[in-house]
A and B are shown apart, each in its own frame.
Chain A
């Protein structure tokens, strides 16, 4: 075991625990348990808000998979990843103040609460809660596997013990501390991600003998690596541009991001968060992917892309500093998983149990339910991640695009288009998710764009047509009555 690497990682976990315990003290003093547990009492300031959005969004793929792909593809992949810069400002600007005000009026605690009040439809609630539970549960299981693999590769522990350490660390602070613990630990994790990127970028440039040197090494190996078209010229402008939908503007539809847009204290926090979020996410995405490309001349011939970032950190940094930097992908995975866990738990407790099973549950029952459901979900994910069933792996493929296709229009049009109604919302969700799965299976990347693009367009059409047709039905039934 490499203790110089492990000790900084352990220190990082201890700090996360302390924050979790501290955040749990708020739960005791709060008058509204649900609002505090699932939304942090709507008290987030600008810095925490920016960090929790960035950290929730930035996952294993930003720190492990992304740099690996950039290693293979060259600068074209960094170009593609820069579509994510938009998430820093776009989500908060689009949902913005209207979402903050409306969700307060509705006293909404989850995204589904908002949809329920806006569309007044049981089917909208059930469909959206089901999409959240199914897709995010699978996404979570996949991230846990990533977290455990990372610990496994760093410490030499077995996969099972690594998974156990990861599961226990995340579960404890999420269960006891709720949203506030998640957001505060996200802030620490986001900061670790930021500085981890900075340190590794500088060290990589130095190890490669300066940027000019690295770039000429790349050109000598394969000139395509420094073009926007990828190592074999396969990245077409249309395909790369279509990622602006998947990882740029489409992120407005991700429930784990949307719920954060109802958690902030005031307009000032939102303004600060937009600025900080743009800087932090832009820097992390540019830096991490550039690191992946720059790693190529330093560590040539790596076969498995996912190992580029850990191997590089151990190569170019002293062991203790590598430990600190490798806490960054750890942080990225933890900060995504904790938000997903809490969100799935809120969908079960608030959206299903309180809405349809026992609306008059006492505060104490709700409290026990929330702790209980979060724990059970955590244990379930742990069991799934031990040997992930094929179904989970399959569903995870759809989770990102599937959720975007399901929620983007019901949320955005629900806010800004008055005519939008439950018929539009239901058809948009069914068409969005259904067509996404069908395209993925039978017609991936149609016309050279990413699979997610057409389903998002189709679900918009479904929303508009459904709402207009539904509106006639509503007016007719009013006339008859």
Chain B
């Protein structure tokens, strides 16, 4: 017990797990963004390839990274996140 927050509250286990999912997602996001941008973008401009008119590094890193993150976020929320009640009073009634 610390200032009224019980460590045993099972809702906090769920909350903690979801916070870690947030950290993992941001790491994936960063690695993907960095990898494509500086992996493909550091070549000379003459050897760039283009997708939908955009340089490939930019398309994968920024456009692709955006779409990827939206998909991952939707999957994480739908499959891994759990609904818990927030108010203590309603805890027993659900």
User: Contacts A89-B25, A274-B73 given: A227-B54 contact, CB under 8 Å?
Assistant: no
Which residues of A are found within 8 Å of B11, using beta-carbon distances?
A: 97-98, 101
For residue B92, CB closer than 8 A to chain A, the reply is: no
B47 CB to closest chain A CB (Å) equals 12
Q: How far is the CA of A279 from the CA of B68 in the complex (A)?
A: 11
A311 is an interface residue with CB less than 8 A from chain B: no
- Min distance, Cβ A213 to any Cβ of chain B, angstroms: 8
Question: Which of chain A's residues have a CB closer than 8 A to the CB of B48?
Answer: 226
Q: Which of B3-17 contact A (CB under 8 A)?
A: 3-5, 7, 9, 11-12, 14-16
Cα A97 to Cα B48 in complex, Å, equals 45
Write out the residue numbers on chain B whose beta carbons fall within 8 Å of the beta carbon of A118.
Answer: 3
Q: Does A275 contact B (CB under 8 A)?
A: yes
Is B77 touching A275 in the complex (CB atoms < 8 A)?
A: yes
Residues of A within 8 A of B66 (CB): 82, 85, 282-283, 286
Contact indicator A215/B55 (Cβ below 8 Å): yes
Contact with A along B48-88 (1 / 0, CB 8 A): 10101111011001110110011001100100011111111
User: Smallest CB–CB gap between B69 and chain A, Å?
Assistant: 6
- In the complex, what residue of chain A is closest to B57 when comparing beta carbons? A228
Report the minimum CB–CB distance from A212 to chain B (whole Å): 4
What count of chain A residues pass the 8 Å CB interface test? 55
From B22, B58, B65, A75 is in contact (CB under 8 Å) with B58
Q: How far is the CA of A226 from the CA of B88 in the complex (A)?
A: 54
Question: Are B16 and A117 interface neighbours, CB within 8 A?
Answer: no
Specify the main secondary structure of chain B where it touches its partner: helix
Are B16 and A98 touching (Cβ within 8 A)?
A: yes
Chain B: minimal CB distance from A455 (Å): 20
Q: Which residues of A contact B3 (CB under 8 A)?
A: 117-118, 120
Q: A96-B22, A97-B15, A211-B54 are in contact. Are A241 and B34 (CB under 8 A)?
A: yes
Q: Is A3 an interface residue (CB 8 A)?
A: no
Give the segment of A263-271, A315-323, A367-375 that binds chain B.
A263-271
* Contact of A97 with B88 at beta-carbon distance under 8 Å, contacts A226-B45, A227-B41, A416-B19 already known: no
Chain A residues with CB below 8 A from B14, complex form: 97
What count of chain B residues pass the 8 Å CB interface test? 53
Instruction: Give a binary string over A143-164; 1 marks a CB under 8 Å from any B CB, 0 the rest.
Output: 0000000000000000000000
In the bound assembly, the distance between CA atoms of A89 and B42 in angstroms comes to 29
Name the CB-closest residue of B to A262: B86
Given contacts A227-B41, A274-B73, A274-B77, contact A93 B7 (CB under 8 A): no
Residue pair B53, A278 in contact (C-beta under 8 Å): no
How far is it, in angstroms, between the C-alpha of A93 and the C-alpha of B21 when the chains are bound?
8
Residue contact B84 to A211, C-beta cutoff 8 Å: no
Encoded as 1 (CB less than 8 Å from any B CB) or 0, chain A from 247 to 258 comes to 011000000000
A228 CA to B37 CA in the complex, in Å? 7
Does B4 contact A106, Cβ atoms closer than 8 Å? yes
- A: which residues have CB within 8 A of B? 75, 78-79, 82-83, 85-86, 88-90, 93-94, 96-98, 100-102, 104-106, 117-118, 120, 210-215, 219, 223-224, 226-229, 237, 241, 244, 248-249, 266-268, 271, 274-275, 278-279, 282-283, 286, 416, 418
14 residue pairs A–B, Cβ–Cβ below 8 Å: A75-B58, A79-B33, A79-B62, A93-B19, A94-B23, A98-B16, A210-B53, A249-B26, A266-B83, A267-B83, A267-B84, A271-B81, A283-B66, A416-B19
Binding site for A on B (CB under 8 A): 2-5, 7, 9, 11-12, 14-16, 18-19, 21-23, 25-26, 29-30, 33-34, 37-38, 41-42, 45, 48, 50, 52-55, 57-58, 61-63, 65-66, 69-70, 73-74, 77, 81-88
